[in-house]
Structure 1
């Protein structure tokens, strides 16, 4: 098939969501981008984009082609690096998606160290608390906090993820401290809306016995950092991971509630699509994360 020079233009336009954005990223004019996309569509005999005056989106065929084209370009970059005289140099663009709070609190402080090791690598970070389909949206790597639901992906464990309940001393001074899980029904519990069955708190005691309590409160949000801040302000009881609230518990700004109970343990994982070869970009970043976060 001739004319595959349009592949990088197509992939960039899909990621940017516009021809003008792709043109800026590639140093081309919007008309040049449009022509290359048009040529590619003619060769494939299929429409890759839905075009309106306000929006550019992939067609169903375009989305399927984008997934494969992204992998092809990544494999080409890795092949070029493998035969280059600078094999140890990691180049290109690495697209990573991860939860907002974890990214700000734990990845941001160490990211400069990784970028200093690989000055020819560009890392694009997507902070997002919703579930991201990394293959459909063209990400090389995802950091997932919790169990790996998509069995088609490969996960490498970075650290344990334990979630506990906590509240500010001021809240506990003003309300009877819970002595058993059922007491949570009488408290203002702060609800995380991105959790499935958001009102059901599944707790495990020291003997492994599970308890499910339906809770409620006057604050619900999809942002764990807002719940964290509300708990610090004495608004109520939060169920949150130790990587987020652990320092405040240690400092006494928050106090564990029902310390003999916790959410069933899971893991923090680096997740990437399966493939015959793992790209140098992904491999170097995963190795760095293991180095930073392994217990």
Structure 2
């Protein structure tokens, strides 16, 4: 594929027409039109619908534009970095991160990154859903226990675990009695299975509050409404200070936070810099590190 023709195609797509693209780039309109036509011919695809009201990307054209735009930007930045003798991160960095991580640490983490790399415009979107990185234009995503995806590569940079905690004033149930529980969402009556120093146990629960976020759950548990199942990083200070007591570790898989990015041969300096920033913030990736960072 002709990269120059691909660059001209993305230029026209970005500006929405040959005339606007020609004026913006100082290039002849006829040259841009010819290069795009040659690209369409080489791909045997129609990339634009041409009509009286201008150009409109076809479905294939939009898919190519979304993928080629970011790749060409990375190539340009890499060439500029090599030419200048360094790889100083610059440009826009879009990250998608889960809600709890964003609420507890991302503000501080993003601020320290911005101070260190002032030429990078960091944009963080908070959501727990699985995003399509390529289609939605993200450079990096942070996800909890992500499903395997052959289009993405990454690593786990933090680990956490779930614990059942309660106010010291809340009596621990005995004899199968259900304990009042604060749960995320609507909750159900399923028991919490925990590990204790003496073995495994099951705690029957009676949800009394269903809340939308784990921070809300923690605050309600602190108030003594009921027991809660929470990440240990979120209640570390409470456990140390005795405002909450530990009933046991939840018998469940470990929580792992991963950084993921597309499987490309070129990794932009912006993404590399943020990955290094995470490594410095959480060198060992333990729940205690996460708790300490969140507590400031």
Fold shared by both chains (TM-score > 0.5): yes
Structure 2 residues without counterparts, runs of 5 or longer: 17-23, 25-35, 50-56, 285-296
Give runs of aligned pairs for residues 124-135 of structure 1, distance below 5 A.
124-135=123-134
The structure-2 alpha-carbon separation of the partners of 1:156 and 1:282, relative to structure 1 and needing over 3 Å to count, comes to same
Contact kept in structure 2, 1:141 and 1:282, CA below 8 Å: yes
Match of 1:177 among 172, 185, 210: 172
* Matched residue, 1:284: 273
Q: CA deviation at 1:203?
A: 3.9
* Matched residue, 2:148: 150
In structure 2, C-alpha distance between the alignment counterparts of 1:211 and 1:59, rounded to whole Å = 59
In structure 1, C-alpha distance between the alignment counterparts of 2:80 and 2:225, rounded to whole Å = 54
Out of 213-222 and 135-144, give the one that drifted further. 213-222
In structure 2, C-alpha distance between the alignment counterparts of 1:166 and 1:12, rounded to whole Å = 56
* Matched residue, 2:182: 190
Contact kept in structure 2, 1:63 and 1:136, CA below 8 Å: no
In structure 1, C-alpha distance between the alignment counterparts of 2:182 and 2:11, rounded to whole Å = 46
Q: CA deviation at 1:11?
A: 6.8
The answer to whether structure 1 residue 249 and structure 2 residue 239 are counterparts is yes
The structure-2 alpha-carbon separation of the partners of 1:211 and 1:144, relative to structure 1 and needing over 3 Å to count, comes to farther
State the structure with more CA Rg: 2
Structure 1 residue matching 2:136: 3-state secondary structure: coil
Q: Which structure dedicates a bigger proportion of its chain to strand?
A: 2
Structure 1 residues without counterparts, runs of 5 or longer: 14-27, 29-39, 49-57
Q: CA deviation at 1:61?
A: 4.6
Query: What's the C-alpha RMSD, in Å, of the aligned pairs?
Result: 3.9
In structure 2, C-alpha distance between the alignment counterparts of 1:222 and 1:11, rounded to whole Å = 39
The answer to whether structure 1 residue 273 and structure 2 residue 265 are counterparts is no
* Matched residue, 2:19: none
| TM-score normalised by length of structure 1 | 0.69
The answer to whether structure 1 residue 136 and structure 2 residue 135 are counterparts is yes
Q: For residues 7-28 of structure 1, what are the alpha-carbon distances to aligned partners after superposition, in whole Å with 9 as ceiling and x for unaligned?
A: 3786799xxxxxxxxxxxxxx9
In structure 2, C-alpha distance between the alignment counterparts of 1:271 and 1:123, rounded to whole Å = 16
Out of 284-293 and 218-227, give the one that drifted further. 218-227
* Matched residue, 2:77: 78
In structure 1, C-alpha distance between the alignment counterparts of 2:86 and 2:15, rounded to whole Å = 25
Contact kept in structure 2, 1:142 and 1:270, CA below 8 Å: yes
Contact kept in structure 2, 1:162 and 1:262, CA below 8 Å: no
Structure 2 residue matching 1:277: 3-state secondary structure: coil
